[in-house]
Structure 1
């Protein structure tokens, strides 16, 4: 996306969907307690008790150039990083608050460095911005479902001035989309209960966002229903299932495909959690990516750097393994979409024009059945090295005359993670 200059919405969305694979980065003060990004809410931590992390924050090993090189090596095409999470701490130099990285021991605009580093690697750049703010005095506290002080009687009479908060966060979004050059994606998070749509001043905000960054892609979490035949103007450009992959491609009320992006963690937390070692394997990530593409979706995969600014070694190793697979098989992912065929029992299909990609997860017994493709395949090749895979109909396949069959010479698959066969259709 960063390398394109497209005017109309259809084209900029195509660039986004062609990219297919991105990196999410959740990072902030919560990396110090190291119990996940919701630690302040989950543990009802007061502002005073949480303040110690602000004065301690000093990511001495923060090097976004290393992060960018890792994302590129992993085969990712775009990245979205937290600029402000629910705790209200800003990684950028905002003139509207003192609660920011430049006032910590870091004394740096961490977002500025992030943007420059990822642009240098040719990746598209996105900003995550939380609509919630547990630090701001005008954000609802008592009775709010998520605020750390939701049950604290001392906040019962503190109603705040929500209109003043809306002006505050609109101003911050304007800063982000003015001070850092061209931005490809803005990822708002999130609406709930009555905190949705125009409660956020959504129409006004979206209008200003598109004025400042005409080519930007916006997610759906301001509210509104992207599946409606005529969505609200603040419904965004793509929808964002979280920690789940939809059972099928998403469509609107007219049956037209809508863009979507599954946001998935590598372990069980978004922000750094030192005790969480429940990492997904590279095989699981590769197959999740294939599943998303086979259903016309993207995958954005999260890393949570620690307090020193380091991406955990476990995450690095997994991403490098995924990147190795993509280096050999990326043609079956980038620019691909759901296929003309239903999901096969042995794996999944992705497709790009006349090229059908068979992602074989399970070898099974005998040749691999390609339902309905008899006489329709010009050639079959192992995608990773271009070697020929023969297509032969078994002598006893009289009941399967409409099917084609891939014949492997061994009982095991060439790649146990995902063996990809390029099928060029006639």
Structure 2
């Protein structure tokens, strides 16, 4: 692309109703940059021969007006630093219709203004064929069949921040990713004049408050150059009753907020056109505008069937997405040997590892216990005398966590609950018998009802005589690793069908007897999970509860959220997700070899929490009690310190959502208040006294920036035009953990 760009003309787009006509939209002409074909014959979207064979209609999905050039020789731009002129005196909103081949794709797009300044929006796009596109919250997507049999491809409607108070010059696309095939494709760019609030999307969820009340998510954007306050979004239709209006406290110029509306469909008809009205205060004056929006509503949630296509419709409940922080508890027979090379292996995998001659546990077990000592003999040595549900739950509560997940059965097959299916349980094998799940959840329900209860369950059992999963390479019966002799699988009953005679019935026992809020599966493998999942969802709905399952129950597509274990996240996951790790360098179960100083520091654990929350995920932090039930002080102390930090900065985590413009900037992380009144900035820097925020944040003369770690402390700030950002000047001496800055507009303080 040459340095001098021709002026791009702006063409008015047709509007679908009178309300939109008040918000003039323009097609930004990008056709001269087209260099790829995605639609129709001779197309080659991904440079591998795949394409969209038929025409698509974006108006069927998006409220944003897009104009695609599907019949031309080329119909999209492969992003590589193109400058697209924005020949407007003012703009209030800017949207791109994009896709990503060989994704995920993470980069930035910028708007450069006539005064030489720029604002940058972070992009994190899933691959165009990602299976979870229909569960994505951050962007709207539309899917169509591709040239690959059975595959769907997606286009995404992506907002780009543009400052309504400035005169734009051009849109700057990211450069091509050297050494990588991942590419962003731009199909259309639409600009909106500065005006008023507009509804940008309405999402019907599969979440129900009751048997009749369905939740809608409505995104609105303030296209005006001034703040708006006291926003109410209401829905009007003769056959749709509004149970709760959407409420937003404030929306900054050019910014987007999401509101939740609860409605009741009074008819069985699914397709309805409703009138949505936005009422807000602008410069002290009440303003109203409305728009007709097509919706697909159900009259009732219906029943989940024992089929993948049915349980795939389930979604994570709002309470889980707002919980943000949970505690994982790995405890079981593996806590008796509790050994692994530090930072190299999971201690809870001791039995598996001692069965492999090339593993350090093989020699360790031989030297420590002898070759005749079988894993199940640890049952005689397990003395859980310090197991105290009150102490455990009190610590979890003080950590600031909103939920926990407890291991009911790990891969060794020993269940910590009573079962009618097998005697391989703590109620049969310990003396005296113990139902640890019942003990923990009984105390939780009565003394800590505000904590949501999760139960972990391993679908496979390494060495069950009837377990045989070729995909995992796991099968029974158990053998002595030194003599190769078959050994007893203590407490196991004779069965023929592991999945349907043991796995599914045990999961049903957990769901029906203990009413968990989360069933957290592990590994996957052979399964018949839709049987218990459909029952679990239906029974919870009948009881007025919202429950959830993760993605390790067999078929990951039939799940509510993605699990990411001991791994840093750079590309934001497509859908809601949960990061999990232990305090140990690399173990969930207690490892006697790990020294207290080797555990992750409180500072690093808080960084992990903030990073997950800023990217739209939860953080499930594991503790591994000793075999006695005692939680080591090095673990409990870190939980208490996290809780003390959360007490000070609570709203920045639990009353927030990912900041739509960017989740991060170098060593900074961002979240946004759910009601629109504040932006939160977390600094991972080594407590520098000067912090430069280049990410666009809604500040103006008189804006207040507070240090949440020290209530009442206000931070000096100014806009540094040379460096292009908001500069904070503060004294970091009194802050030992992550500092959090709250940015609030003056009229909302």
CA contact (8 A) 1:26 1:303 kept: yes
2-side partners of 1:281 and 1:118: how far apart? 28
Task: Provide the alpha-carbon RMSD of the alignment.
Answer: 2.9
Spell out the pairing of 1:131-210 with structure 2 (5 A cutoff). 131-140=459-468, 145-146=473-474, 149=478, 163-180=497-514, 182-191=515-524, 195=525, 199-210=526-537
1-side partners of 2:465 and 2:647: how far apart? 49
Spell out the pairing of 1:150-299 with structure 2 (5 A cutoff). 163-180=497-514, 182-191=515-524, 195=525, 199-214=526-541, 215-225=546-556, 232=557, 235-251=558-574, 258-267=575-584, 268-277=586-595, 278-299=598-619
Deviations 1:146-195 (A, max 9, x none): 5585997767xxxx976344321111111111112x3100001112xxx3
CA shift, 1:132, in A, is: 1.1
CA shift, 1:417, in A, is: 2.0
Residue from 317, 330, 338 that aligns with 1:26:
330
Pair 1:274–1:296, CA change in 2 (3 A)? same
2-side partners of 1:286 and 1:187: how far apart? 23
| Structure 1 equivalent of residue 392 of structure 2 | 67
TM-score of the two chains, using structure 2 as the length reference: 0.49
CA contact (8 A) 1:341 1:349 kept: no
CA shift, 1:264, in A, is: 0.7
2-side partners of 1:128 and 1:390: how far apart? 47
2-side partners of 1:283 and 1:164: how far apart? 44
Pair 1:164–1:388, CA change in 2 (3 A)? closer
CA contact (8 A) 2:463 2:475 kept: no
| Structure 1 equivalent of residue 696 of structure 2 | 372
Residue 408 of structure 2 aligns to a residue whose secondary structure is: strand
Greater shift after overlay, 332-341 or 109-118?
332-341
* Structure 2 residue 353 is matched with structure 1 residue 42: yes
Spell out the pairing of 1:293-332 with structure 2 (5 A cutoff). 293-332=613-652
CA contact (8 A) 1:369 1:403 kept: yes
2-side partners of 1:298 and 1:357: how far apart? 17
2-side partners of 1:147 and 1:304: how far apart? 27
Pair 1:298–1:162, CA change in 2 (3 A)? farther
Which structure has more helix as a fraction of its residues?
A: 1
2-side partners of 1:348 and 1:109: how far apart? 43
* Structure 2 residue 460 is matched with structure 1 residue 127: no
Residue 393 of structure 2 aligns to a residue whose secondary structure is: helix
2-side partners of 1:84 and 1:69: how far apart? 23
| Structure 2 equivalent of residue 54 of structure 1 | 379
Pair 1:246–1:371, CA change in 2 (3 A)? closer
CA contact (8 A) 1:28 1:85 kept: yes
CA shift, 1:143, in A, is: 9.6
User: Which of the pair has the greater relative contact order for Cα pairs under 8 Å at 6+ separation?
Assistant: 1
CA shift, 1:101, in A, is: 1.1
* Structure 2 residue 683 is matched with structure 1 residue 360: yes
Residue 81 of structure 1 aligns to a residue whose secondary structure is: strand
Greater shift after overlay, 41-50 or 22-31?
41-50
1-side partners of 2:381 and 2:689: how far apart? 59
Pair 1:416–1:95, CA change in 2 (3 A)? same
2-side partners of 1:139 and 1:64: how far apart? 33
2-side partners of 1:185 and 1:26: how far apart? 16
CA shift, 1:365, in A, is: 6.3
CA shift, 1:334, in A, is: 0.8
CA contact (8 A) 1:259 1:296 kept: yes
CA contact (8 A) 2:692 2:725 kept: no
CA contact (8 A) 2:658 2:670 kept: yes
CA shift, 1:415, in A, is: 1.8
Pair 1:220–1:376, CA change in 2 (3 A)? farther
CA contact (8 A) 1:23 1:76 kept: yes
Greater shift after overlay, 239-248 or 209-218?
209-218
Greater shift after overlay, 357-366 or 372-381?
372-381
2-side partners of 1:423 and 1:162: how far apart? 62
CA contact (8 A) 1:368 1:406 kept: yes
| Structure 2 equivalent of residue 389 of structure 1 | 715
1-side partners of 2:738 and 2:695: how far apart? 19
Residue 33 of structure 1 aligns to a residue whose secondary structure is: coil
1-side partners of 2:469 and 2:351: how far apart? 13
CA shift, 1:276, in A, is: 1.6
The gaps in structure 2 that reach 5 residues or longer are 1-207, 217-314, 340-346, 356-361, 363-370, 487-493
CA shift, 1:372, in A, is: 3.0
Greater shift after overlay, 365-374 or 342-351?
365-374
Larger radius of gyration: 2
CA shift, 1:106, in A, is: 3.9
| Structure 2 equivalent of residue 228 of structure 1 | none
Greater shift after overlay, 161-170 or 382-391?
161-170
CA contact (8 A) 1:296 1:338 kept: yes
CA shift, 1:9, in A, is: 8.4
CA shift, 1:370, in A, is: 4.5
2-side partners of 1:275 and 1:9: how far apart? 49
| Structure 2 equivalent of residue 117 of structure 1 | 443
TM-score of the two chains, using structure 1 as the length reference: 0.84
Pair 1:318–1:84, CA change in 2 (3 A)? same
Residue 404 of structure 1 aligns to a residue whose secondary structure is: strand
